[in-house]
Amino acid sequence: MEGKGLLKELVRLPGGREILKCIQCGTCSGSCPMVEVMDYSPRAFFALIKSGQIKEAVRANTYWVCASCYFCSVRCPRGIKITDIMYAFKELSVKKGFYPKKEPTTKLYESFKEVIEKYGRLSEAKLMQRFAFKKPLLVLSKARLGLKLLLKKRIKFRVKPIKNIEAFRRVIQRTKELESVP
């Protein structure tokens, strides 16, 4: 996937053009709760893009670990909607399939999607079960907590799908069709 081409695409993303306004002040990074687990801080991430190192940028986990607290967006002196751009990146990377394989969040989100598409609602239990297939160790480490919650009656294993699950699935189906047409 060619960098320059992608940059054009990025700029076309909603709010994407704003990336070019960045003055690299670092307010975003200083405000970011997840910065410590990021390969590149949000600012550095933008720097990569502005300097054309797109491939390096998209390989970073930066946008995946964004917890979307929007602190950066609120504080950015250039008024850049950083969080939204992070979302755009996630979506793009899924579409293009170049997201960092080692990043567990991607798996978690996939499982999440599967669960709600199946039941219409989320169940932490089901989510964890599915997530377990993808990241067994990580989930195992949470077992003790699960037990504790169970004792507090705060886990339900049985989930019943929403009433109109059929209609709901139709909606999903229709959506997918709509997505396929550009």
Q: Identify residues 3-22 at the interface with another protein (CB under 8 A).
A: none
SS (H, E, C) the chain: CCHHHHHHHHHHCCCHHHHHHCCCCCHHHHHCCCHHHCCCCHHHHHHHHHCCCHHHHHHCCHHHHCCCCCHHHHHCCCCCCHHHHHHHHHHHHHHHCCCCCCCHHHHHHHHHHHHHHHHCCCCHHHHHHHHHHHCHHHHHCCHHHHHHHHHCCCCCCCCCCCCCHHHHHHHHHHHHHHHHCC
CB of 2 to another protein, least distance (A): 23
Per-residue interface string for the shown chain with another protein, residues 95-124, x marking contact by CB under 8 A: --------xxxx-xxx-xx--x---xxxxx
- The answer to the question of residue 51 lying near another protein (CB under 8 A) is no
Of residues 1 and 37, the one with the C-beta less far from another protein: 37
- The answer to the question of residue 62 lying near another protein (CB under 8 A) is no
**Residues touching another protein, count (CB under 8 A):** 78
The single residue among 23, 140, 143, 147 that binds another protein, judged by CB under 8 A, is 23
Q: Name which of residues 128 to 167 contact another protein (CB under 8 A).
A: 131, 135, 138, 142, 145, 148-149, 152-156, 162-164, 167
- The answer to the question of residue 71 lying near another protein (CB under 8 A) is yes
Q: Give the distance from CA 89 to its chain's centroid.
A: 9
Which listed range, 4-12, 49-57, 69-77, lies at the site for another protein (CB under 8 A)?
A: 69-77
Of residues 3 and 15, the one with the C-beta less far from another protein: 15
CB of 90 to another protein, least distance (A): 4
Angle between helices 104-119 and 165-180 (to 10 degrees): 130
